[in-house]
Amino acid sequence: MLELAVLGLLKEQPLHGYELKKRLGETLGFLWGVSYGSLYPALRRLERDGAIEIVEPTAPTKAPITATGSVTGDLASARIRSVADRLASGSRRTRKAYRITERGDAVLLELLLADDARADDERTFGLKLAFCRHLPQEARLQLLERRRVLLLERLDRSRRPGRTSVGATDDRYTRSLREHRARSTQRDLEWIEELIVLERADESPAPVEAQSPATEPVVQEGATT
């Protein structure tokens, strides 16, 4: 799912490696532990696939050196410029930016719509939801409806009379844990259903305001104009 997160962020704006790592940490959470060791291989894979491309940095404008009239001053200015050029060159190498391509747009849609084995994973769904604004409205509804069905099935399983395995303990703590999970699933289900209602409201045509018929002047019989 790292590729999905990268493409989702680059869909908004070009970013360089440091910015991507920071934004990924904010989007995915600390539990994912995105490191440069996992980020840059993912970037290379996406670049080889044509999903992203490098944004060439523009060379910074060099300020002219004012002649001092002394050999010492000119040599000092030259040394300062040399150091500044090396720092700028290194900065351009480390701050190489990436942007999404048309191929990347298609890959992003495929990843958002994919119904794979990880669909039940909370983090995977949360990541898809974070970028589902890039989907057409019908596809957003499909994503939400699919999640709703999954939660209904999970809630149904949690409410069935449990069968304790041989040797397993079924005390008030394990029962309380099952009840807690059922309540959490119920809250998630209510949240998803609210999102579905809002999504469907957005696709409804705006109500046409009723207009009162124009009032025509009443002409009395026999009246002269």
Provide CATH code, domain 1-60+73-119.
1.10.10.10
Q: What pTM does this model have?
A: 0.66
**Domain segments of the chain: what residues?**
1-60+73-119, 136-159+173-202
- Cα separation, 65 vs 77, whole angstroms: 7
Nearest-angstrom CA–CA distance, 78 and 111: 52
Helix (H) or strand (E) run with residue 97 in it = strand 97-100
- Count Cα atoms within 13 angstroms, Cβ side, for 20: 30
Question: One-letter amino acid identity for 176?
Answer: S
pLDDT in tens, 73-122: 555 555 556 555 555 554 445 578 999 999 999 999 999 988 765 556 78
CA distance 193 to 191: 5
**Which of 1, 4, 38 lies closest to 21 in space, CA to CA?**
38
DSSP label of 52: E
Q: What are 57's two structure tokens?
A: 């940095």
- Most confident residue range from 83-87, 152-156, 171-175: 152-156
